[in-house]
């Protein structure tokens, strides 16, 4: 199955982040797996949105936790999408925002789609729409500087939702290890990937990954104070493989998310690439004869 094309936010540089339209377009292009982010509304509904506020991508403002589901469904989830490396700049001409108004009925949707496909979906909407597609779910909180309380609250609500799910292929992650641990405690049947603390203990302290872990989901580098640590490296990937874990590298919205980096990661034997450009990555994987669930080819790292 190496190398998985994992559509980060559904491919947020190519399609409007975390919308049903993006998820469908990414899968149609050949993505093997969807990555998405979840928050919790005021009335405890799990919705799919990358940020903890709605300001960057929608026509609304304020924290997700301040909205009811009914209110959040009225927002335009593609309002600030223009595409490219600055896909959510608020400084462009109105004509640049190609899907603005589709969600609200002010513009006709593309053929085969509906206004709802450009709104903020619930996680249940996505699970129902893609019952057999592998889905990576990241638990969000408020801000990195805040205490972990909101992450833990969201982990509880997510675990309650997923406790009875029949979806066969989910993985849950969060930057906060406490949120991952709590989720695993409440929904132990669903695989997880470690947060920052769990991953650091494994890579640099020799500690086994927390129970429930099946994969490392890591950036290429991580800045710690004035030091830049190389995280995705041949040695670290090999260490994960030797311990029985997959290695999936994430990147999004930056210059490194492109062909030279993808080729480097393939050479380092990563098992999945989480990209903001799943259409472009799929072209490379096909051109290089790299196998996957929907591609034939030769494993670039046999035995790894």
Q: Which residues are catalytic?
A: 8, 50
d(CA 239, CA 231): 12
Q: Residue 120's Cα: distance from chain center in Å?
A: 15
List, in order, residues 6 or more apart from 198 with CB less than 8 Å away. Answer: 177, 180, 209, 210, 213
8 A C-beta contact, residue 172 and residue 180: yes
8 A C-beta contact, residue 2 and residue 299: yes
Question: For the chain, how are helix, strand and coil distributed in percent, rounded to 5?
Answer: 30, 15, 50
Evaluate the CA torsion angle 250, 251, 257, 260 in order and state its sign. negative
List, in order, residues 6 or more apart from 219 with CB less than 8 Å away. Answer: 231, 232, 249, 250, 251
CA distances to 54, 60, 118, 215 from 65, in Å: 10, 13, 20, 29
């Amino acid at each position: 199955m190496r190398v998985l094309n994992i559509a980060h936010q559904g491919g947020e540089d190519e399609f409007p982040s975390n919308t049903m339209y993006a998820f469908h377009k990414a899968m149609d292009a050949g993505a093997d797996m969807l990555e998405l982010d979840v928050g919790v509304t005021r009335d405890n509904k799990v919705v799919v949105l990358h940020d903890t506020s709605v300001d960057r991508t929608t026509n609304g403002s304020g924290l997700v936790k301040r909205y009811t589901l009914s209110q959040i469904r009225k927002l335009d989830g593609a309002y600030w999408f223009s595409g490219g490396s600055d896909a959510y700049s608020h400084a462009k001409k109105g004509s640049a925002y190609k899907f603005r108004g589709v969600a609200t009925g002010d513009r006709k949707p593309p053929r085969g789609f509906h206004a709802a496909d450009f709104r903020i979906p619930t996680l249940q909407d996505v699970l129902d729409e893609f019952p057999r597609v592998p889905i990576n779910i990241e638990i969000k909180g408020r801000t990195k500087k805040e205490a972990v309380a909101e992450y833990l609250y969201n982990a509880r609500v997510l675990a309650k939702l997923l406790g009875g799910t029949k979806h066969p292929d989910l993985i849950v992650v969060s930057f906060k290890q406490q949120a991952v641990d709590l989720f695993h405690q409440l929904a132990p049947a669903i695989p997880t990937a470690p947060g920052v603390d769990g991953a650091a203990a494994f890579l640099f302290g020799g500690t086994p990954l927390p129970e429930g872990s099946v994969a490392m989901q890591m950036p290429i580098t991580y800045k710690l104070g004035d030091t830049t640590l190389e995280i995705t490296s041949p040695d670290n990937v090999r260490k994960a493989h030797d311990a029985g874990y997959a290695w999936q590298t994430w990147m999004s919205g930056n210059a490194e998310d492109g062909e030279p980096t993808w080729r480097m990661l393939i050479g380092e034997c990563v098992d999945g690439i989480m990209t903001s450009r799943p259409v472009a990555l799929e072209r490379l994987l096909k051109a290089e004869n790299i196998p996957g669930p929907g591609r034939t080819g030769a494993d670039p790292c046999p035995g790894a």
